[in-house]
Structure 1
Amino acid sequence: MADFMVPSLATPDLKRRANAPIHSERRIKIICIGAGASGLLFAYKLQRSFRNFELTIYEKNEEVAGTWWENKYPGCACDVPSHNYTWSFEPKLDWSAVYAGSGEIFNYFDTFSRKHGLRRYCKTRQQVVKATWDSAKGGYHVGVHDLANNTHHEDYCDILINAGGILNAWRWPAIPGLDKYKGTLLHTANYDTSVDLTGKHVGLIGNGSSGIQVLPTVQPHVKKLTTFIREPTYVSPVQGLEQHVFTPQELHDFAHKPGALLEYRKNVETGLNGQFSLFLKGTRTQNDTRAYMIEQMKQKLNNKFLEEKLIPDWSLGCRRLTPGVNYLESLTKENVSVVYGEIKEITENGCLCDDGNEYAVDVLICATGFDTTFKPRFPLIGPSGDNLQDVWAKEPTSYLGVAAPDFPNYLIFLGPNCPIGNGPVLSAIEYQADWMMRIIDRYQVHNIKSFAPTTEAVSDFIKYKDEYMKETVWADPCRSWYKANQADAPVTALWPGSTLHYIEALGEVRWEDFKVEYNGNRFAWLGNGYSQTELDQTADWAYYVRDHDDGEYFSRGKKREIMTKSGTCSHDAGGVDFTGRQERL
């Protein structure tokens, strides 16, 4: 049962509710941190369903769209098929290719924000620097730094939403001597587009997603490119999702042929959702797809040394998959050299590696990623005085990826152990937003002061998650940001299941997992004895009288059958491949 605490003192809200009908909607103030994809979706959902609210979105950048505004490095693109890197209800007709560039993606979210009037909530060049819980008032005092004017101001909210994401705090590599380098130093997440690489000797550190996109883009234009790689990784598009530039006929059909785009999107989404067994050890899908990718890599490399160094011996999917368009082929070009191993230090001229050689370069590009520790980017002080940055310093432990124990009225997009690599991620974000709307609705119409998941609920979830992860490829000994960039550590980034599994898990709010504190009598929401329907002279006061039963279904199974149109589709049984797992269970 939920742990309910009822303060004895009356509040102004109780007096207001006593003279109002049942479920009276109090005005609430919400602050959202970040106007990237998640922050914009939150604003859209809140605006669509709620009326009596005040929303402020603080965004540190000068524009919206988060990572898709920040990242402008050569070749920057999304590794999710473009038509499925949209909100489920907001398709884009004219994506240029299966994998779209960052500019197109920025335009999608920018257009979304303008179409729905979401910029009215956004304050750009405003960075949240601290948030402190006020136990007496039941909300957060939020410190904000105005980056444009170098000033500071304080704000206050009832509910704090962290939509900052995890790919927003880029970092230089932890290599000694970086400050000694006298050439041009660049980072992919803070890229200077004015730098001309033509005819230069360019060094590239890293073979993660950004490094894999940079190399084939700049290779044709540079005199020489030396890429520094310290570990193998799988690079190849999943079969059926190879890069493809849409033809004029395809673009015409998407825009004008009824149902064509929806059918295409649903087919791709079905394929993405059908891949989850890839991440389970010993399944037929894992074994067959790994064999396919290894063969693809060998064909594209056609080089025994590179095959030996770049093809991993751990399971496919242990690190995030990337399609790597033209990456492997570019590694074999005459002007490209691959240096495998560790960089011991950065010198004035370039990189001194563990092979004893110094590699001098004119320009050094660091494709070394982000701080993906999940810690808030600002001090977040809870009721006990603890800072969530410190609490999550070693291992972040969230409630279903959306909330933190002991930090009331604080909700998170893409928090620890959410499905950021399990399948179509924007679908998961939508359901996180819907889950938050259910929380906010109950908070607004009941006299709730604070809510937070209990430590017991989070502890049980983490135990379940850790046990489940033992049977996944993510537990293999690869170094991955899924595991805090360690080879042998708890999986803190991913959900213990598929995206469809996550969607069902967030289908309702389990209030028994929450500690809820009320302002006064918990039944104050009953109000003055009248319903709101009776105050609406345009409403049907006998809406429940019908000539047939069109009411909702109450069993979860029946609801799911209706919602998913069960019986109308046919899928390959390989989409639920338990091969090799059933025996262990």
Structure 2
Amino acid sequence: MADFIVPSASKSETDADKRLRGPIHAERHVRVVVVGAGASGLLMAYKLQRHFDNYSVTVYEKNKEVSGTWFENKYPGCACDVPSHNYTWSFEPKLDWSAVYAGSKEIFNYFDSFAEKYHLKQYVKTEHQVSGCYWNKEKGGYDVKVRDLQRGVDITDHCDILINAGGILNNWRWPAIPGLHDYKGTLLHTANWDNNVKLEGKHIGLIGNGSSGIQVLPTIQPIVEKVTTFIREPTWVSPVQGLEQHVFTDKERLEFAQKPGTLTQYRKEVETGLNGQFAIFLKDTKTNNETHDYMEGQMKGKLKNSYLEERLIPEWHVGCRRLTPGVGYLEALGKENVNVVYGEIERITESGCVCDNGQEYPIDVLICATGFDTSFRPRFPVIGPDGTNLQDQWQQDPESYFGIAAANFPNYLIFLGPNCPIGNGPVLSAIECQADYMCKLIDRYQTHNITTFAPRQDAIKDFIAHKDWFMRKTVWADPCRSWYKLRPDGPVTALWPGSTLHYIEALMEVRLEDWEVKYAGNRFAWLGNGYSQTELDDTADWAYYIREQDDDEPLSRGRRRKLLTKSGTMTPIKGINFSGKDSVEKQVQAKI
């Protein structure tokens, strides 16, 4: 090992002083707090464990178990609207999914098993709810206030870097209908389901035809006496062609498990199909128009009812609201024991719902499939160095940097923040690239004498301007009521201005020119005492750059992309449905 010339330490030394006594890129200890142990929070714990040394992390979770929304949502028919083999981490396949669209219990088991397999629960404190995060001006970082729900006491933690992995579909809400809590029957919300309630033989009222309501109806219809479903607006309901529901046979599951390459090939085909659908979201592309015709035909064929067709098939473009497979939903609407009431519920009485047609509908059990607060405002105060609360800053139209950070809130990172690809394509792939980007920021923070990093306000302003320009050409800008925007005529606040693959490439490298970075002392203190990290390691090759041939990875982004994506090795994809791209590049160039 090299002989070091080490300056002596002093009691008042700063981080920059410490770095002068060590080699280049010395790794200081980093304390990370993650809020939420759903999919994103568990992935972040996994990434830190896999890629870092000299760190500590605690994941605070309000529920009794991990898995977030998949622990909370247990309503009848609850499932994911993404094909199950692709609702996994890219590196962690599951061999035995029961069907293309698996139920919530299976999905919970996947993430719970992921946490068990990689020993992630050692970092998680369940039944601990974060109530506020406050920037500490003296030592930097955040003081995190946490309620220990089991003991009923408040504790305070401190972190260098705060990561909000609370999720977007996590904070459920009752509908804002007068008289809701005057109702004397059984009141349920899909995201707060009571399994002790028996529905058999009852007259059920179902409010909502979003994803939850669409899953509930066909599940309960066969066992109840009657369902009155209240629908106030149309929506597109049908699987995209080629991604219909299918229960895997024993033979198929056996091949996935035992035949090398079979499952990987299937997952790649599905992922290619999901990534090939982006042209659906661009107005008047061939893909969007043909998908419209296909879905309209599917809906008419399943509804077989001119009254319902007129009211449930939208006039706005396919994709303005989140697409849902709707397995069995349209068929259920035509069953004898299902009554469809189209219009607004004006008020709720002790016995049922009064609608804008003047009629009251008495019911035994009222199910509210009315969704979540998707405003992106944190569910607890996040107070920055200047005293600003992010809840207030994002009160109207939330604006973030690439869906992962907010201006004026240093060392604060967000999973699935405003304008990330939550509905643009395969979402877990986007979460993975967010986690990787965060790890790159944390690595830079750990190996440099950085005190704070936050996205620049002007960078966010430019990003939002580009986003708004792009969105005008998409179906999401149509005047439909969607959680993609806070109001029908407002800006699109939830989605990324591009495809998921576009997002992944955008986040491959950290653009430090978009970040405001502050240092302790001289910004070059990370250079240290002149020695390299290699010279600290007696087992390393101190001449690692001497080779017989040039085997470096490409230095240009274009060449790196071609190497990473195996460009030139795949058969060109043709067609417009599940496995096709429909000449997306030409359509995009024509539209934008």
Deviations 1:384-413 (A, max 9, x none): 111000000001000000000010000000
Paired with 2:552 and 2:296, the residues of 1 have a C-alpha distance of 53
- Partner of residue 482, structure 1: 484
Deviates more, 1:527-536 or 1:184-193: 527-536
Asked if structure 2 preserves the Cα contact closer than 8 Å seen for 1:172 and 1:187, the reply is yes
Offset, 1:13: 1.9
Paired with 1:320 and 1:376, the residues of 2 have a C-alpha distance of 23
- Partner of residue 442, structure 1: 444
Offset, 1:18: 1.7
Corresponding letter in the other structure for 1:577: V
- Partner of residue 498, structure 2: 497
Asked if structure 2 preserves the Cα contact closer than 8 Å seen for 1:277 and 1:578, the reply is no
Give 3-state SS (helix, strand or coil) of 1:220's partner.
Answer: coil
Paired with 2:363 and 2:424, the residues of 1 have a C-alpha distance of 38
1:395 aligns with 2:402: no
Paired with 1:506 and 1:583, the residues of 2 have a C-alpha distance of 26
Deviations 1:493-512 (A, max 9, x none): 00000000000000100000
Give 3-state SS (helix, strand or coil) of 1:291's partner.
Answer: helix
Deviations 1:209-236 (A, max 9, x none): 0000000000000000000000000100
Give 3-state SS (helix, strand or coil) of 1:338's partner.
Answer: strand
Offset, 1:124: 0.4
- Partner of residue 458, structure 2: 456
Asked if structure 2 preserves the Cα contact closer than 8 Å seen for 1:200 and 1:362, the reply is yes
Offset, 1:529: 1.2
Deviates more, 1:573-582 or 1:384-393: 573-582
- Partner of residue 279, structure 1: 281
Asked if structure 2 preserves the Cα contact closer than 8 Å seen for 1:87 and 1:430, the reply is yes
- Partner of residue 159, structure 1: 161
1:577 aligns with 2:588: no
Residue among 259, 264, 267 paired with 1:265:
267
Paired with 2:433 and 2:288, the residues of 1 have a C-alpha distance of 27
Paired with 1:342 and 1:305, the residues of 2 have a C-alpha distance of 17
Paired with 1:152 and 1:238, the residues of 2 have a C-alpha distance of 48
Corresponding letter in the other structure for 2:571: S
- Partner of residue 47, structure 2: 45
Asked if structure 1 preserves the Cα contact closer than 8 Å seen for 2:14 and 2:520, the reply is no
Paired with 2:42 and 2:435, the residues of 1 have a C-alpha distance of 10
Corresponding letter in the other structure for 1:540: D
Deviations 1:221-275 (A, max 9, x none): 0000000000000100111000000011101100000100000000000000000
1:384 aligns with 2:391: no
Asked if structure 2 preserves the Cα contact closer than 8 Å seen for 1:232 and 1:309, the reply is yes
Offset, 1:287: 0.3
- Partner of residue 416, structure 1: 418
Offset, 1:584: 4.9
Asked if structure 2 preserves the Cα contact closer than 8 Å seen for 1:160 and 1:410, the reply is yes
Paired with 1:349 and 1:390, the residues of 2 have a C-alpha distance of 39
Asked if structure 2 preserves the Cα contact closer than 8 Å seen for 1:10 and 1:519, the reply is no
Offset, 1:570: 2.2
Q: Where do residues 5-404 of structure 1 align in structure 2 (5 Å cutoff)?
A: 11-404=13-406
Deviates more, 1:365-374 or 1:13-22: 13-22
- Partner of residue 541, structure 1: 542
Paired with 1:10 and 1:283, the residues of 2 have a C-alpha distance of 64
- Partner of residue 6, structure 1: none
Corresponding letter in the other structure for 2:64: E
Asked if structure 2 preserves the Cα contact closer than 8 Å seen for 1:213 and 1:325, the reply is yes
- Partner of residue 569, structure 2: 568
Offset, 1:305: 0.4
- Partner of residue 509, structure 1: 510
Corresponding letter in the other structure for 1:291: D
Asked if structure 2 preserves the Cα contact closer than 8 Å seen for 1:11 and 1:520, the reply is no
Deviations 1:300-340 (A, max 9, x none): 00000000010000000000000000000000000000000
Corresponding letter in the other structure for 2:326: G
Paired with 2:274 and 2:477, the residues of 1 have a C-alpha distance of 21
Asked if structure 2 preserves the Cα contact closer than 8 Å seen for 1:282 and 1:579, the reply is no
Offset, 1:373: 0.2
Offset, 1:19: 1.5
What is the aligned-residue RMSD (CA, Å)? 1.1
Paired with 1:70 and 1:392, the residues of 2 have a C-alpha distance of 26
Give 3-state SS (helix, strand or coil) of 2:222's partner.
Answer: helix
User: Residues 582, 29 of structure 1: CA spacing in aligned structure 2 closer, same or farther, 3 A cutoff?
Assistant: closer
Offset, 1:577: 2.6
Give 3-state SS (helix, strand or coil) of 1:221's partner.
Answer: coil
TM-score of the superposition, structure 1-length normalised? 0.97
Paired with 2:501 and 2:584, the residues of 1 have a C-alpha distance of 15
User: Residues 259, 580 of structure 1: CA spacing in aligned structure 2 closer, same or farther, 3 A cutoff?
Assistant: closer
Offset, 1:583: 4.6
Deviations 1:339-390 (A, max 9, x none): 0000000100010000000000000000000000000000000111110000
Offset, 1:149: 1.3
Deviations 1:437-494 (A, max 9, x none): 100000000000000000000000000000000000000110000012x211100000
Give 3-state SS (helix, strand or coil) of 2:163's partner.
Answer: strand
Offset, 1:571: 3.1
Paired with 2:340 and 2:153, the residues of 1 have a C-alpha distance of 47
Asked if structure 2 preserves the Cα contact closer than 8 Å seen for 1:282 and 1:580, the reply is no
Give 3-state SS (helix, strand or coil) of 1:542's partner.
Answer: coil
Corresponding letter in the other structure for 2:454: A
Deviations 1:526-579 (A, max 9, x none): 111111111111111110100100112111111011000000112335514366
1:430 aligns with 2:432: yes
- Partner of residue 5, structure 2: none
Offset, 1:135: 2.6
Paired with 2:421 and 2:14, the residues of 1 have a C-alpha distance of 41
Paired with 1:535 and 1:328, the residues of 2 have a C-alpha distance of 66
Give 3-state SS (helix, strand or coil) of 1:482's partner.
Answer: coil
Corresponding letter in the other structure for 2:565: T
Deviates more, 1:542-551 or 1:13-22: 13-22
Asked if structure 2 preserves the Cα contact closer than 8 Å seen for 1:281 and 1:580, the reply is no
Give 3-state SS (helix, strand or coil) of 1:30's partner.
Answer: strand
Paired with 1:152 and 1:571, the residues of 2 have a C-alpha distance of 58
Q: 5+ residue gaps in structure 1?
A: 1-8
1:524 aligns with 2:546: no
User: Residues 216, 438 of structure 1: CA spacing in aligned structure 2 closer, same or farther, 3 A cutoff?
Assistant: same
Paired with 1:578 and 1:524, the residues of 2 have a C-alpha distance of 46
Deviates more, 1:127-136 or 1:87-96: 127-136
User: Residues 584, 500 of structure 1: CA spacing in aligned structure 2 closer, same or farther, 3 A cutoff?
Assistant: closer
Q: What is the number of residues matched between the two proteins? A: 576
Give 3-state SS (helix, strand or coil) of 2:404's partner.
Answer: coil
TM-score of the superposition, structure 2-length normalised? 0.96
User: Residues 582, 538 of structure 1: CA spacing in aligned structure 2 closer, same or farther, 3 A cutoff?
Assistant: closer
Identity of paired residues, percent? 68
Give 3-state SS (helix, strand or coil) of 1:93's partner.
Answer: coil
Corresponding letter in the other structure for 2:570: C
Give 3-state SS (helix, strand or coil) of 2:221's partner.
Answer: helix
Give 3-state SS (helix, strand or coil) of 2:257's partner.
Answer: helix
Give 3-state SS (helix, strand or coil) of 2:371's partner.
Answer: coil
- Partner of residue 5, structure 1: none
Corresponding letter in the other structure for 1:184: T
- Partner of residue 558, structure 1: 559
Q: 5+ residue gaps in structure 2?
A: 1-10
User: Residues 74, 442 of structure 1: CA spacing in aligned structure 2 closer, same or farther, 3 A cutoff?
Assistant: same
